[in-house]
Every structure is written in structure tokens, then in C-alpha cells.
Structure 1
Amino acid sequence: MLRHRLAALFEPRVLAVVSDRPLPVEAHTPAKLANAITHIPVEAAVRGDAPYQLNGLRPGARLDLALVCVPPDSLPAVLDTLRRYRPHTVIVLAHTEQSEDPMQELVYVRSWSQLNDCLVLGPRSFGVQRPHLHMNFSHHPQRALPGRVALVTQSRSIAAAVLDWAADVSLGFSAVISVGDEGAIDVAEVLDYLSMDPRTDSIALYLEETTSSRRFTSAARAAASVKPLIVLKVAEPLDRDPVHLAGFNALLQRVGAVRIRYFVQLFSAIKVLVHTRRPRGKRIALVSNGDGAARLALDVMGTASAVYRAELATASKERIAALLEKGAQVDNPVVTYAPLTAQRMRGMLDVLVADKSVDGVLVLLAPDPLADHESVVQELAEIAPASAKPIVTCLMGDATVRRLRHILDAAGTPAFRTPESAANAFGILAAYHYNQNLAQQILPPEPLSTPPDVERARSVVQSAQRRGRLVLSPEETVELLSCFHVPIQLGERADDTPPMAIRVRTDPKFGPCISFGRGQEPFERAEAAIELPPLNGYLARQLVQRSGFWQNTLSRTLTPTAFEFLREALERISLLVSDVPAVESLDIDPLHVVDDALVAERLEVKLASVSMLVLPETTGYRHMAIHPYPRHMVQTRQMRDGTEWLLRPIRPEDAAPLQEFVRDLSDQSRYMRFVSMLRELTPRMLARYTRIDYHRELALVATIQEPNPEQRGRMRERIIGFAHYLRNADGRGAEYALVIGDAWQRCGLGSQLMRALIEAAQEQGLTYIDGLVLGTNRPMLGLMSYLGFRIDPDEEDPGMRRVWLDLGETSGAGRVVS
């Protein structure tokens, strides 16, 4: 199996250390790795006379990791000496001596990294800790405890502060890394590794600035799709623009991550991430031994927050009343004033967890000398980890309850010091669930009923650009919108309804951002929400309903028909800015509803100077943070006998047809493809193959039209072939998968699907494509040989064959590229 490029950083087998001072790695490294460490004196490294043979390094093999801590003026000579060992990764730790020109040092490190095919962390790096492997490649004197949360930061000081806090509460980590200056290893690369790391269940990320938006988007989505990703983002100069800040928030929602705003929330997030239970909604029940704590928690909850107070069922209130003393409060929050007992606590939690209107329970306890808190906490420690719904606890105080919080932490259920932090932790869990729903909407579903006239729209823009105009006339704007069938007409205001506004602004990092809010107001006061294209119907509805303007005004005045027109308008505007990247901004303001129709008093489109001769579909839609559905790949083709079929990228709604396709395969075909006798795909596999991130993978289907057995006289689309590739861990190549329906084999489908897959891999800059094929699967091996693939025995399994194709060699090969 290929190692990820960062495996040499997080799991090195051979290590060289060049440092002018003692480092923690020398005191805490286990014997197994200690025997594979070579200490190279700084003077020898600077002179270039370091030994050629390193401990544990086989002749001809590359060094996994070099750990460097030297004065800045010695760094070039040391790196030059390390070249002879061809290291996979280098960590350049911060040094007490400061560089005279930090930017020049950073540029040098990046250039050295590229020239030597080596990933460099630093300069001025905090380093890396891998607690379960007892590895401490940092200056921090204390190695973190092992745990399941990975900490990734762009700041050495934040990493040190979090480690110090975690030591106090005995919280562990799967990995700790600060990328700092991002010499060659950036946040996206680290997220890629951690998304596949079996030791990591969740990731806490501290960001000071975002770089390479598309790569970050893709990596964050890959990580957040399999484990919670919490992001603390501080302000940067661009954040003075409210659109940029809102765009970043929208980006995190779309990838399924959760943004937090304050440093103290980072501790809450890390602590709550160890909890394996996630709420499926926002409705929280509160239990307290006094109303003060409950009031404080409710102050940070509400319908506009991530979580809010649940309305308990009548039966639940009656059962709780029977458990508590007379005068207790039984309508959420549940408040008892009598000394708590373990039995009462279990009884209340049983009722609340069973209530269908409750998504989670927050237990708030203040010190009570009359109560046996020890037994109550022991009961909570037994109940909470096994509960069907998340239970979060707040034990207020410190001197008498600190030990009790540690009991709950050790049991795997988070316990907090303040009601606000506990309520906020619940909000983080609920926001994660909501954002995961948004992440599943990355691609638009079925194409819009009326396809746009993209060529005419681009012609309108090119005509204005040729005349040196970067603002379209009202007539040109109307024509541009009509090309995409946007259901908005230019006209006069006819009533007194509050005006709406749809705006598009292009952010330098996140590309086009679509906002919806109140009309004739600046963005800051427009009660607006922002979303990133591409939009589908669900995302367009969420954009409207997330705005304060909807919540405060429109929800009571907008008719269902007008709402549907508004949803469709947003969806089609999303398509417009995806296919016409020269649109720098778009203003539809004010926008009114007249007899359920949408009428705009003012339309304005401003253009960028970008040439429309460079088509976004051939350059990977680089002007957007999220790759849209590649409609340009939809092609009608013919089989050898003339039968027409459709080649297209897969869509999320193809899950059911793909499942039917797999079920219809013969046992032999299923075994040849999956090397097992599974009869259908699991829900996770279905989601994996149909919700595609087109920045890093591709899934194509071959379909035909056939009579629909469930709707007489209608046709349906049936999948008869499937091809897929996913980037390999090394970042350079991709592994393919191909399966053709039994009735459609030997019709030329397989070669056409593979050629389309190869073309797409070449366009993405991949250098090879490979796969594992059973040695007995002669038809597949024959097809791969025909397409120019090389066939090698698999070193780990003699029954398998590794087939691979050098894409550089095939870029001009006529029999490979159709």
C-alpha cells in the first residue's frame, strides 16, 4: 500500500537530527526509533562532511525525516548537506537567533523543497508530536498524552498554550502540528493525512490565514466527511470586508466543518470532540440543581443559536414531576432544589433521553453540601457514555468539584466549568450535524429543467469586453439573465412590500459569493446570508431561510409561489457565475414581488478583465472554491452495434440506480470488482461513490434509456457501466475502478469509459493511474493491456496484478486518448 506523503513526518522510520542545542526528541524517544536516529553535528553539516551512512538507512533508500534547529545563517549549508540523503521531509524548528529577512528565508525553503522533492515544515516551526508513538519533534518539553483528537495550528504559541492546558485536564491528542510559515507543508496537506489517520477521530484547527482556497476546500471536505473538523479562525486584513468573512463561514459550512470564534471555545471544542455521541438536532433539555445555572445556559441558547430549549412532551413532565419534590420546576429547564441523589439523576435522564422532542441533555450542577455529589457523578459517568443521545455536564466551581469533573472526563463524557461553555459545546456538536447536511449538497442534483444558453451569454460578455466596457448596459444585463432563464424581470415597484436584494461579489480567495437579504441596504445592515456556488434547490432555500431578513420579515409575507421563483432565481444565478467567470459582481436591488412574480427596479453587472477565451470547464473552474458538476463531460455515444448511450459524471441522486446496478451484477462480476461476495453496496459506499469532490476524484457512469416499470409509458435512465478514480496517498497518481454490466460487456463500453477517465486524470495533472486486478480476470487484464497499461505482479498478493499507466507517456497516444 502506498504511504501518504506525510507518513514520513508523522511516522518516520529513519531520523537525522541536526541541532546546536539538546532537543526533547533525545530524551523521550523510544528505543525502537532511538536506534534509527543519527545525530549530525552542526559544524559537520555546515562543512558538508557529515557521515554518508545513517543509522537504520538501507543503501539507496531515502531518509524519512530530518529534524533541524540551527541559526538562520547556517540553514542553507545544512540543507545542502542533507540533500545527499534525499529526505522525504524536513522539520526546521524555531531558533533563538532570528533571521534578518524572514520572507527571504521562507522563499528559500520553499524553493529548496521543490528542487529536492522534499516536504519542509517551517522555517520557525513548532514541530510535530505523535504521542502514541512517544515522538516529540518539537521544542515543547512535555509530550502530550495519547488521545483521539488531532491539533493543527498556524501558530507556535497557540500549540504550546493548548498543550499546557491539556496537560492540566489530562486530555490527550493523536497528533500535534503547527505548520507556521507553511514553507512547503500547508494545512491542506496535513488535513489530507489526518483524514485517513486511524488514530485520529476528530480535528481541531487554528487558522490565521487561508491559502490555496480550492486545495483547502477539498482537503477540509475530505476530513470533515469522516470526522468532526472544528476551526478557530482569527481575523486577517481581508476580514475587514464583511463578504470575505461571510464567505469563509459559508465555505466551512459547505465542507461540513464548524467554525468557532473565541480561543476559549477551542478548549470546549477539543473537550467535546472526545464525545462519541452527536446530537441529531438542536433541541436541548436542561437539568439543574438550582435555576441560576440554567438561566446562564439559556442566555447563550435560542432559536438563532446553534441549539435551543426543547419543548418537553406532557408525559415527560408528568413522569419528572413524580420523581422530584413538590415545587420543583418540571417544564424545561428541569430544576430541583432538594439535595440530588444518584437515583433521581438516573430517573430524570431516562425520561429526557426517551423524549422524542429532545436531541440532547445538558446537566448543570452547583456545589451542594447537603447532596452526595460523588454518587451523582459516578452515576453520570455510567449513564452518559452509553446514552443514545449526548449528555454534556457542567460542574460549577473548582476546589470541591474539580476531581469530579476529571471522573467524567475519564469516563469519556465531557464536563465543563461554566454553563456558557457547556451550552457552547453542545452548539458545536449541533452545528456539526447541520453542516454535514450542507456538505452532502456539494453538487447540484438533476439539471435544471431548461438548460442555459451558455454560448450566447459568453458572447454578450465578450462583446462588452471588446469595447472596453466592464459594466453591462441594462439591456445586456437582461439578456445575460435571460440566457440562464433567471425568473426576474426589469420593471417598476408596484406595492409597499419590503424590498429584497440578490448580490454577487467575487472574493480574491473564495471566488463568487452569492448573498440574499434586505434591499437598498449595505451588506452589514441587510440582514443577509451568503452562500458559495454551486447551489441546488436545497442550498438555495437554506440561503434564503438563513438570512435575518427572512426570519424577521419575509417568512410572514412571501407567498409559496414567490418563494419558489426566488429559489429558482438563486439556483440559476449560481449557474451563471459558475459558467461565466468574467462576472465580477451582480446586483439585483431592489427586488420586489408583484403578483407572485419577481420584479427588479435595478440590475447591474460588472465584469472582470479575465478573458472568456479560457473556458472554466477546461481549467477545472479555478475561479470557484467548490468545483461544480462538470456538465461539459456529458456526452452521447454509441456502442459497436450503434446503440446510443450516455456518458456522464455521477450525481448524488444516482445512489439508488447505482445500487440496482450492483445488485444486477452476476456473482462473478461482483467478485471480480470487489474481491468479495457482497451483494450490494453499504450506505457509506453509496455515499462515497455518488458524492464526489471533483477536485480530487471522478466517477463516470454509462446509462441507457429504458421503459420505466413503475410509470407506464415513461422512460427511465439505467446505469450499465461505472468507472471511478481517486487520488492516491502520494498525491501524484490515482487508483481506478471499472465495472460493466454483464449484458453490456464486449460492446466497447469499458474502453470508452477508461479513456474518458484517463483524459480527466491528465487534465488534473496526475502522472499515473493504477489499479489492482485479480490475476484470473482476463477480460480486464486484456482491456488494460489494449489501453497501454503495464501489468506487474503484486508484491503483497500473488493472486493480484498491479496495472498502471504513465500518463506522461500517453498524453499523445492515439489509442489511449479518444
Structure 2
Amino acid sequence: MNQHYLHAMFHPQSVAVIGASNRDESVGGVVFRNMRCNGFQGKLYAVNPNHAEIQGYQAFASVEQIPGPVDLAVIITRAALVPGIIEECGKRGVRFALVLSAGFRETGTQGALLERAVIDNAHRYGIRLIGPNCLGILCPASGLNATFSNGSVPAGNLALISQSGAFCTSIMDWAKPNGVGFSCIVSMGAAASMDFGEMLDYLATDRLTDSILLYIEGIQNARRFMSALRATARIKPIFIVKAGRHAAGSAAAFSHTGALVGADDVFEAALQRAGVVRVETIVQLFSAAKALAAHFRPGGNRLAIVTNGGGPGVMAADRVADLGVAIATLADETLQQLDTQLPDTWSRGNPLDIIGDATAERYRHAISGCMQDAGVDGVLVILTPQAMTNPLEVANTVVETAAQFNKPLIACWMGEVQVTESRQVFDRAKIPNFRTPEPAVEVFSFISAYYQNQQLLLQTPGPLAHHSEPDEEGARLLIESALAEHRKILSEVESKAILAAFRISIAKALVAHSPNEALVIAEELGFPVVMKIHSPDITHKSDTGGIRLNVGNAQAVRSAYQEILQSVQKHSPNARIEGIVVEPMIIKPNGRELMVGVTTDAVFGPVITFGAGGVLVDVLGDRAVALPPLNRFLTKDMIQRTHIAKLLGQFRHMPAIDIAALENILLRVSEMVCELPWIKEMDINPLIVDEHGACAVDARIIVDYLPPSADRYAHMAIHPYPTHLITHWQLADGTDLIIRPIRPEDAEIEQDFVRGLSAESKYFRFMDTLQELSQTMLVRFTQIDYDREMALIAVLQQDNREKELGVCRYIASADGQSCEFALVVADEWQNKGIGNKLMSCLFDAARAKGIRIMEGEVLEANHAMLELVRRLGFARTVSAEDVSIMRVVKQL
């Protein structure tokens, strides 16, 4: 309910520019001039010990000499001076700082030490700091232009956060002539103190911001980044350009910002899972910005194309196919209607070629028909200047027609001289328009992908996806035993034992230490068998001749044993040989060889991989990646993103595989990743799957020591649904309740719960007279990020559905040390101990996250709540802002 603490940074009442200058072209001179000339209404102070006056303003020798309070300090000095200046600001009570100065970690070891001193001083005094080495921030609504760019931007509803100051200046220069306004522009620089996560938290609550653009070179805190990204994307569209997609770009990004850059396909998977959209170029981001500024909101990806030229329509359709956008199929009713309105020679399909002599009225009929078709999600209108068509008249008609419908429309007026006025018409109407079909299709694909990715965002799987519990303790003991022996590479037998502990079907494997022992094992398992070298130093056994397949009799077993040893000693003479693994030969005539694995990304932690297996894994490079935890929706999506997916269904004489068995393997691997944080790498290759099930034929697991952490899922970028917080509880009258964390699918029972509250209870909880939750509030309350907040609901099973009886929640502050809570219980279920039990569970959840202080606001008239918090040990004080509100605080 409170205003975000960063609001004062973007809307300060007073700003001190430390390093302000009279030299017009110096950074200090430009920043101070921008602050003077862009409508800032607060108090502006110049700080420069060498001048009595700066640009007509009194200059102060230091921050300490400024007579009034200072909300924001903008620092433009030599890097060596910055730590001392931050300390002065801290003593002076300055809450926020922008460090535009360069010369820190990007310059090497000494610069990194200097940066550390800056951050330590900022933390000591509680200063929130952007930079160093940044362009600054700009907020048109408050007249704040604390940047060294030339010019400003119009106010609007887009926000831009960028690690590149040059990118900010480029988009600022582009914005005004393109009619795009911004709520704020933030240059993060090195993001040494305040990162993308904190900025996104603020923008999620900022009423001036509708959509967000990000330019990213690297991420420092993946958990915080993903947490903030997912929380914000539930409310506002986010589009991202990520630099460093390839090795050379990654190296450049590291030298620029000093940030880690992970594998690009992992980053892509993370963004999709967060419900945001990635664009590849700055031009595409500009185009997306234009569409977002126009409140462009498609509900799907089925595009209709209306054109007066066959060629451009085909070009657009080709680009549609390239991007995986769907060409809308027009309904029979639509085709019949258009047949009565269009000439006989029209294309009678999509693209709708309405012929080169198309009039404005013909365009109107074609567009209206598409907009009214339930199978169409958006329309691309193309015009090529021809003698029989008036571009301006058609443009006006298109604007008028588009205004009658809610579906998005994109214009592509090809050419230049004859269509200039038409483009101006579209700009005034806020209709995205382009010179060629391809970028128009791209924009539709980007914006529609946002809504598709929202389906991935809604998935909140728990760490365990199955009803049959794994033997987690047994697997943990195996790993700890290996680490105790200073081994990080588990043997095939150990690796398969861990898979078996998580209920993954394996090809049983035993180790033989002599030819006779191999023969005994083969007789026990049954012929034919597979024999493999058992060595911690050999990863690819076939490369050393360390595998023999289809060994069919006793004599062959003895021969194969010796042949494997000789071959391995020849190819890898220094390899340690610990025996020969003998296992059954898995014969599946309809089997497909697949690979399921785990890798650890430098930024996002554990990543699950899936693709073609066997020897093809290195040749084809066919893999899809996903961040755990997974559920069936996510596993299906992962499988479909691979080329091998086309071979898993029925074709020719081959029956379709048991796809549920494959999904179960992926879910089990997800469980392993969640519950066994020691796993750093794993290969199940091949995993043979046919119509009868799946079997892990070979497996290899690499583990490593784990630093201690209070958070059991600290190794993961996405926090799983916290099933360990589910509690079964019984009221005094014997009524059985469940207290559990809220899920996105609880939206309906949450809305019913709020609707059922009395007017007084609603007012006490929301301090407002709302009747029900808005869609935005409902999303915000049910689609939470369990890393930074928690909402526990008490539910009763009633008539085969759950009924919500009460809910409590906390949201952690930026420092992670304190949180704000809220609680409400249904009127008819009050005074039964539910509120007390909910709060007790909430205390435990907060403590487990390292939170030390819980606080909240209670209306003075809410006597029942005040009595409850008194019993729970909260201290109470009257709010300094409003005497009708009590501030309650508890040390956890």
C-alpha cells in the first residue's frame, strides 16, 4: 500500500550535482545545464570547491555546506574522490546517489577495489546508488534530467533500463521524431549496487509506466533478476535486447561492464520462462517500443495480411513462416461475406490480395472482415503506390476502420514520396507503420510472443512432481560418500543408482574386475550384454574403443574384456581403469536414442537439456534447454522445441513413443536438480524410449561441494513452489484445513474470498472501499515470486472444491532484512484461531528466508487485529503520517 522507496529517486525534491561545472562541454557542465533547462521544479544545488558560482547558481564547497536536505546526489568527479564523497553524503542524510564517474572495475584491479570502497560506504549509510560509469537517469514527468546527453525526451508510458549509456542516447534521439515518450530512462552502468532487479521492482509499481524496455549486457544476481523480471512481467510487458549472443560479443560485454554472461540459449530460456520477449537488434527494439507506445496488445499469433500487391503479401507470408507466426485461416462465413464485397479476382484466402486497383472502400471491407473473424488475432495492411490507389485516402480509411475494433493493426505503406503523408496519418493515430513487410511481421511476432510467454510464466511447479517419493536421502548419501573420497565424477554404477533413487528406469550395471567375474555377471544378467570401460578419466568411452555391444556368449565376454583393456591402454595410457561394466543389451526395435542432461550455467545455475542422443548429440547439436523446476506443460514445450521431436510420433512402420514416459524422465531430472544441489553436470545418453517406456542406458554425473545456505533452493534461478510449507491443521471443532502457499490457479477462490468479505473487513484490509479485486490486483496477489514474498492461504475442502477462509502475506524489503505483512480472515471464520495459525506459519517462512523484522499498518479502528498482533508480540506505535493508522513491528 505504501509508495515504493525508489519513488524519491525519480521524483526528488532536491538534487545536488557534485562536480558541476561552468565549462559548457564538460560532463559536469552538461549535467547541470540539463537539470536547469528541463523543467525540474525542486531545489538544485551545485557543488564545486573551486567556484563560488556555477551557471548562475551559488556553488557549495561540499555537500555538508548545503543548507537544506538533499534527496539525490549526482556525482561527476575523479573516481578516487568518489568513496569520500559517498561518505559525506551518508553523513549528510542523502538517500540516493548517481555515480556518473568512470574509472572503476572496468579499468582493472585497482578500479575494482575503488568500486568496492564506494559500495561499502553506500551500504554503511543506506544510500541506494546507481552506477558507477553510467549516463544517469531521466524522468520527464518530474523534469529530472540527470544525464550528460544532449536534449531530452517527451513524457510517455515506456520505461527504458540500459547497461549502455550510448544505447540510451540513441533511443533518446530517436524518440521525439517518432512520437514515442518515456516515463523514465535509466543508465545502469556497472550496476555495482542497484541492479536490474531493484529497478524492475520500482517500475512494476510505477503508475506512469505501462511497458518496459531493457538493454542487457550481463547479469550479476540471477535469482534477483529472475524474481523481479517474473513479478513485473505479470503486470507489464517487457522487451529485452541482450548483447553478447556469441563468444566475441560476450567478451566485449565483459570488458564493458564486468558482468558475467551466460550461454545464450540459457538466457533465451530464462526470458521465455519469465514471460518476456527478446528481440535481436536495436531496430527491432525501436519497432517494439513504437508498438508498445500505441498500446499494441494482440491476444494471439494468427495474422491476416491485406495487400494490393501479390508480391509484398507473399514476402510477408514468408516472414510469418520464418518467425513461427500463424497465417490466420479465414472462416467460411468471412470468405462468403468478402466474396460479395471484393472483385472476382481477389485471392480468396490469406494473404488477402485485393488487387492493384484497390480503393479505400475495398480496404475497409477486407479489414473489417478480418477483424470480425474469430480466427484472426491481428491484421497487417500493405499498400504499394499504384495509379489506381490513393495512399492518403486509404490511410485515413484504415485509421477509421481500426478504431472500431480491439484487435491490433499494423500498416506497411511501401515506397517514399507518395506515402509520406500517409505515414504521418498513422503516426498521429498511434498505428505502428513500416516501409517493408518484414519488420512489420517481426513486430507482430514480438508482441504476440509476449502473450504466449505469459503461459510459461504462469507455471509454478514444485520441486517434486510425482506422487511416488524419491529416495532423496539415499541419493544424498551416495554423493556425500564420493565427495568424502575427494571424487567429483561418479561412476556409471553410482550415477545409475542415483537415477534409480529418483525412480528412473535404468539398465542394471555391475562392475567386473576380471574376465571370469565379467562372465559370471553376464550369465546372471542374460545374454546379450554390453561391456564398457569403467574409468573416472574417460568421458566418451567409444572414442577409446572402450565399448563392446551385443556380446552374445561366454567366449565373447572373455575376449571383449581383454580387447577393451588393450584398446583403452593404447588410446589413453594414463587413464585409471577400475574394471569393466557389464549390463544387459537393451534391444528396442522402435526405440529412439535421446539425451537428457543437466549443466550449470555461469549465471543462471542448473539448466536441464534435452535433445537427440547417442553419437548424434555432438554432431547435430539438437538441444532444448529449460530452467528448473519443470511441470508437464513445460516439459511438453521443451520437447517440441527440438528437431528430434518430429521423430517421436508415428511415422512409416514406427509407432509413436510413450511420450508420458519421456515427460516423466524430465520431471524426475527436475526433481533431482531441485533436491540435489551438489549435481553440477549430468548426461543420460542414450536414453532409449519406445512405445513401451524409457530406459537410461548410460549415465554420468559430476558433483561438487556446496557452500552452506539457509535457502534450500539457493542454487536455482527460479524458486520452486514451496511444498515444504504445506501444513495440515485441524480447528478445535474437528474441521480439517490446509494452510499452503498460494498458486496462480487460486485466482478464482481468491476473488470469491474477497467478494465474500464484509464492507468493514474489506476496508480494514485494503483501506479502501473496493468491491472486488481488479484483474491487475488478482494477478499480483496470486502470481507471486516465492523468493521475495509469501502468501499463505487457509483452505477448506468443500463440495469437491477448495474454499479460501483466510490469507496472510509478506513482501520483503530491498535489503532482505525486513518485510511488510497483511492478514485477513473471512468474517464467518473469525475467532477460531485461523489468523493466529496463519501468522505463526508466516513467521516461520520469513525466518527461513533470513528476515528479521516484520512490520505492517493497522487502522486504529481495527480493534480485533490490534489485539491479535499484541498477542503475537508486535510493538505498536502511531504512524507519523496518519494518526488513524498504527504501525506494528515484530522482531522475528
TM-score normalised per structure 1? 0.89
More displaced 10-residue stretch of structure 1: 678-687 or 195-204: 678-687
2:564 alignment partner in structure 1: none
Q: CA deviation at 1:292?
A: 2.4
**1:631: how far off?**
2.2
Alignment match of 1:516 (pick from 610, 614, 618)? 610
Contact persistence 1:443–1:652 (CA under 8 A): no
* 1:522-671 equivalences in 2 (<5 Å): 522=617, 525-550=620-645, 552-557=646-651, 562-610=658-706, 614=708, 618-637=710-729, 639=731, 645-659=737-751, 661-662=753-754, 669-671=761-763
2 CA distance for matches of 1:96 and 1:593? 56
Find the residue that maps to 2:132 and give its secondary structure: strand
Deviation digits for residues 40-66 of structure 1 (CA, Å, limit 9, x no counterpart): 224379x994374536x3xxx5x2111
Show the counterpart of 2:550. Answer: none
Q: Is the 8 A contact 2:153 2:182 kept in 1?
A: yes
Q: Deviations over 1:479-519 (max 9, x none)?
A: 32233323565561321543121111111211111122111
Change (3 A) 1:151 1:246: same
Q: How does 1:59-458 map to 2 (within 5 A)?
A: 61=69, 63-94=70-101, 102-235=111-244, 244-302=263-321, 305-444=323-462, 448-458=466-476
Name the residue aligned to 1:713: none
Provide the secondary structure at the position in 2 that maps to 1:205. Answer: strand
2:553 aligned partner: none
Structure 2 CA distance for partners of 1:324 and 1:751, relative to 1, 3 Å:
same
Deviations 1:67-111 (A, max 9, x none): 222333444454454344222112222579997954444333323
Q: Would you say 1:6 and 2:6 are equivalent positions?
A: yes
Asked if 1:688 is matched to 2:780, the reply is yes
Separation in structure 2 between the aligned mates of residue 635 and residue 457 of structure 1, nearest angstrom: 26
What secondary structure is seen at the aligned counterpart in 1 of 2:133? Answer: strand
Q: Indicate the residue corresponding to 1:813 in structure 2.
A: none
Classify 1:344/1:197 alpha carbon distance in 2 versus 1 (closer, same or farther; 3 Å). same
Please give the secondary structure, in 2, of the residue aligned with 1:209. coil
Answer yes or no: is the 8 Å Cα contact 2:75–2:101 preserved in 1: no
Q: Distance in 1 between matches of 2:382 and 2:722?
A: 51
Matched residues in 1 for 2:374 and 2:492: separation? 54
Instruction: State the percentage of identical aligned residues.
Output: 34
In the alignment, residue 799 of structure 2 is paired with which amino acid? P
Counterparts in 2 of 1:83 and 1:779: CA distance versus 1, 3 Å: closer
Q: Displacement, 1:723?
A: 1.4
How far residue 527 of structure 1 moved from its aligned partner, in angstroms, is 2.6
Which one-letter code corresponds to 1:609 in the other structure? Y
Q: Distance in 2 between matches of 1:478 and 1:537?
A: 24
Contact kept in structure 1, 2:4 and 2:202, CA below 8 Å: yes
CA distance in 1, matches of 2:754, 2:8: 38
- Structure 1 residues 236 and 322, CA gap change in structure 2 (3 angstroms): closer
**1:196 Cα deviation after fit:** 1.2
Q: Give deviations 1:600-638, integer Å, cap 9, x for gaps.
A: 221222212226xx4x7x415111000012222233445
Map 1:802-817 → 2, pairs under 5 A: 802-805=887-890, 807=891, 810=892
Q: 1:669 & 1:445 partners in 2: Cα distance? A: 35
Mapping 1:782-797, distance limit 5 Å: 782-797=867-882
Give the conservation status (yes or no) of the 8 Å contact 1:637–1:647: yes
Structure 1 contact 169–406 (Cα < 8 Å) conserved:
no
Q: Which of structures 1 and 2 has the bigger CA Rg? A: 2
C-alpha contact 1:254 1:435 (8 A) present in aligned 2: yes
Matched, 1:773 2:858: yes
Query: CA 1:476–1:569 in 2, change beyond 3 Å: closer, same or farther?
Result: same
Distance 1:658 1:147, change over 3 A: closer
Q: Equivalents in 1 of 2:308, 2:374: separation in Å?
A: 24
Q: Which digits, 9 at most, give the CA deviation of each residue in 1:507-536, with x for residues without a partner?
A: 121111112211123367243211111111
* Offset at residue 695 of structure 1 (A): 1.1
Q: Deviations over 1:425-465 (max 9, x none)?
A: 00101110110111011334995322333222222222222
Distance 1:485 1:35, change over 3 A: closer
**Matched residue, 1:502:** 596
| Distance in 1 between residues matched to 2:829 and 2:693, nearest whole Å | 48
CA change 1:96–1:107 in 2 (3 A) is: closer
**Selected match of 2:481 from 460, 463, 471:** 463
Q: Structure 2 vs 1, CA of residues 766 and 107 (structure 1 numbering), >3 Å: closer, same or farther?
A: same
> Counterpart amino acid of 1:110?
I
Q: Please identify, of 340-349 and 413-422, the stretch whose mean Cα deviation from structure 2 is larger.
A: 340-349
Distance 1:375 1:444, change over 3 A: farther
Question: In terms of mean alpha carbon deviation, does 518-527 or 188-197 score higher?
Answer: 518-527
Q: CA deviation at 1:763?
A: 3.2
The equivalent of 2:533 in structure 1 is none
What is the Cα deviation at residue 576 of structure 1? 1.4
Partner Cα separation in structure 2 for residue 623 and residue 39 of structure 1: 46
Distance of 1:202 and 1:326 partners within structure 2: 44
Q: CA deviation at 1:182?
A: 1.4
Decide which moves more: 216-225 or 720-729: 720-729
Instruction: Point out where structure 1 has 5 or more consecutive residues left out of the alignment.
Output: 711-715, 811-818
CA-atom RMSD, angstroms? 3.2
Aligned length: 788
* Letter of the 1:179 counterpart: M
Check whether the contact 1:258–1:435 (CA below 8 A) recurs between aligned residues: yes
Query: Does the Cα contact within 8 Å between 1:519 and 1:526 map onto a contact in 2?
Result: no
Q: Give 1:191 shift.
A: 1.4
Offset of residue 24 of structure 1: 4.8
> Contact 1:639–1:747 at 8 Å: present in 2 too?
yes
Q: Secondary structure at the match of 2:889?
A: strand
C-alpha deviation, 1:686, in angstroms: 4.0
After superposition, give the CA deviation of every residue in 1:8-42 in whole Å (9 maximum; x if it has no partner): 32111111112234225435647974551111224
Structure 2 partner of 1:753: 838
Q: Is the 8 A contact 1:533 1:626 kept in 2?
A: yes
**Structure 2 segments unaligned to the other structure (5+ residues):** 24-28, 53-58, 252-259, 509-583
Which secondary structure does the structure 1 equivalent of 2:314 belong to?
A: helix
Aligned-partner Cα distance in 2 for 1:483–1:663? 47
Q: Counterpart amino acid of 2:878?
A: P
Corresponding residue number in structure 1 for 2:255: none
Q: After the TM superposition, which residues 681-760 of structure 1 pair with which residues of structure 2 at under 5 Å, given as runs?
A: 681-703=773-795, 709=799, 719-728=804-813, 733-742=818-827, 744-760=829-845
| 1:493 aligned residue | 587
- Structure 1 distance, partners of 2:154, 2:275, is 28
Task: Return closer, same or farther for 1:730/1:324 CA change in 2, 3 Å cut-off.
Answer: farther
Q: Partner amino acid for 1:701?
A: I
Q: Residue 504 of structure 2 contacts residue 696 of structure 2 at CA under 8 Å; is this kept in 1? A: no
SS of the residue aligned with 1:124? coil
Counterpart contact for 1:385–1:413, Cα < 8 Å: no
